[in-house]
């Protein structure tokens, strides 16, 4: 039965990687055509709306039990800050470049494991993480127009760290007995209403709404599949598969734009996939 769960987790992780890749690719269009921060709030709300039909099939919500509300807030803050950074940087770069920062998530999960998840870590894993971060981010330091190399590296690391903390929050919520629908919907609504309060979505047109719906569908399916993948199997292994997201984004860009991707992006994407696989093997 455990082997079956691992297989299901693998399939869900692959599905999540592809869904995220399409969503990230569509994010580029949203970032260029719509007021950036005004679009983020509605996107989070739409993400939640797509999952509303699953509420009756999930367990009873336990919003106010123990550490649950704090973990929800942690997930919402992490997701919100990551979205803000990605949308801002997306207007100055390609979708594949921005997907690299998120692909560092498994490394953060592994480092946070001994503290939050009761896992163990060995010295070779720490070494792999250091090499992984340097090999994937350093080549991309000049890929963001109008942004210094230090700022670009810092922001991509922040994306990876916060995405990893969101994953840790998902695992801890699962251990607290929180259902998948509650985990996803509460996080999206908290982040969405916060953004809409700070940046009211005034001036959005119907064509903007359709563009947001299309992007939200793929991102919500990715989040949902990733949450189930993390819960069905190993968080690190599931995230390792999703570390291939940059490669999927590159493939989509090649197909749509019909041009060769930048070598630095390809190198970083491959380094991510190999490095995270090495982490999964040693974990």
pLDDT tens string 129-141? 667 666 666 666 6
Q: How many CB atoms are located within 10 Å of the residue 149 CB?
A: 13
Its sign, for the CA torsion 173, 177, 183, 186, is: negative
Is the backbone of residue 202 left (phi > 0), alpha (psi -120 to 50) or beta? beta
pLDDT band at 258 (very low <50, low <70, confident <90, very high): confident
Most distant pair of Cα atoms in the chain: their distance: 53
Q: Is 230 helix (H, G, I), strand (E, B) or coil?
A: helix
Residue 254 has pLDDT above 90, yes or no: no
**What is the per-residue pLDDT for 253?**
84
Q: Which residue has the higher pLDDT, 95 or 251?
A: 251
Query: Alpha carbon of 94 to those of 7, 97, 124, 165, 249: distances in Å?
Result: 33, 5, 33, 25, 10
**Angstrom distance (rounded) from CA 200 to CA 184:** 23
Q: How many CB atoms are located within 10 Å of the residue 115 CB?
A: 10
Residue 163 has pLDDT above 60, yes or no: yes
Residue 80 has pLDDT above 90, yes or no: yes
**Angstrom distance (rounded) from CA 100 to CA 57:** 34
Length of the chain: 283
Instruction: Kindly report the average pLDDT of the chain as a whole number.
Output: 80
**Angstrom distance (rounded) from CA 124 to CA 109:** 16
**What is the per-residue pLDDT for 126?**
67
Q: Which residue has the higher pLDDT, 276 or 187?
A: 187
Its sign, for the CA torsion 161, 163, 168, 173, is: positive
Nearest by Cα to 264 from 135, 110, 131, 106: 135
> Which segment, 22-26, 100-104, 139-143, 205-209, is predicted with the most confidence on average?
22-26
- Helical (H) or strand (E) element with 264: helix 263-282
Query: Is the whole-model pTM more than 0.75?
Result: yes
**What is the per-residue pLDDT for 104?**
65
Task: Let me know the angle formed at the C-alpha of 115 by 111 and 116, rounded to the nearest 5 degrees.
Answer: 100
Its sign, for the CA torsion 167, 233, 49, 71, is: negative
Which residues have a Cβ under 8 Å from the Cβ of 122 and sit 6 or more positions away? 282
Q: What is the dihedral of CA 23, 29, 30, 33, to 10 degrees?
A: -170
**Angstrom distance (rounded) from CA 11 to CA 4:** 11
Q: Give percent of the chain above pLDDT 90.
A: 18
| DSSP letter, residue 178 | -
140, 100 contact by CB (below 8 A): yes
**What is the per-residue pLDDT for 46?**
92
Q: Give percent of the chain above pLDDT 70.
A: 74
């Amino acid at each position: 039965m455990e082997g079956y769960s691992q297989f299901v987790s693998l399939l869900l992780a692959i599905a999540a990687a592809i869904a995220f890749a399409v969503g990230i690719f569509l994010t580029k269009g949203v970032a260029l055509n719509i007021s950036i921060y005004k679009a983020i709030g509605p996107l989070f709300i739409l993400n939640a709306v797509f999952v509303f039909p699953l509420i009756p099939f999930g367990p009873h919500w336990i919003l106010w039990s123990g550490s649950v509300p704090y973990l929800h807030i942690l997930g919402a803050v992490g997701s919100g800050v990551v979205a803000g950074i990605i949308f801002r940087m997306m207007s100055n770069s390609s979708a594949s470049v921005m997907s690299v920062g998120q692909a560092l998530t498994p490394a953060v999960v592994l480092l946070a494991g001994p503290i939050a998840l009761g896992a163990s870590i060995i010295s070779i894993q720490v070494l792999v993480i250091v090499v992984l971060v340097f090999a994937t981010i350093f080549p991309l330091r000049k890929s963001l127009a109008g942004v210094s190399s230090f700022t670009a590296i810092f922001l991509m690391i922040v994306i990876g760290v916060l995405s990893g903390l969101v994953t840790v929050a998902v695992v801890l919520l699962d251990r607290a007995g929180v259902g998948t629908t509650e985990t996803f919907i509460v996080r999206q609504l908290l982040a969405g209403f916060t953004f809409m309060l700070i940046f009211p979505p005034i001036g959005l047109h119907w064509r903007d709404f359709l563009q947001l719906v299309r992007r939200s569908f793929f991102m919500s399916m990715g989040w949902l599949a990733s949450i189930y993948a993390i819960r069905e199997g190993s968080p690190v292994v599931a995230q390792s598969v999703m570390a291939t997201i940059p490669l999927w984004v590159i493939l989509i860009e090649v197909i749509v734009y019909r041009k060769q991707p930048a070598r630095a992006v390809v190198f970083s994407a491959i380094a991510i996939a190999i490095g995270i696989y090495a982490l999964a093997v040693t974990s």
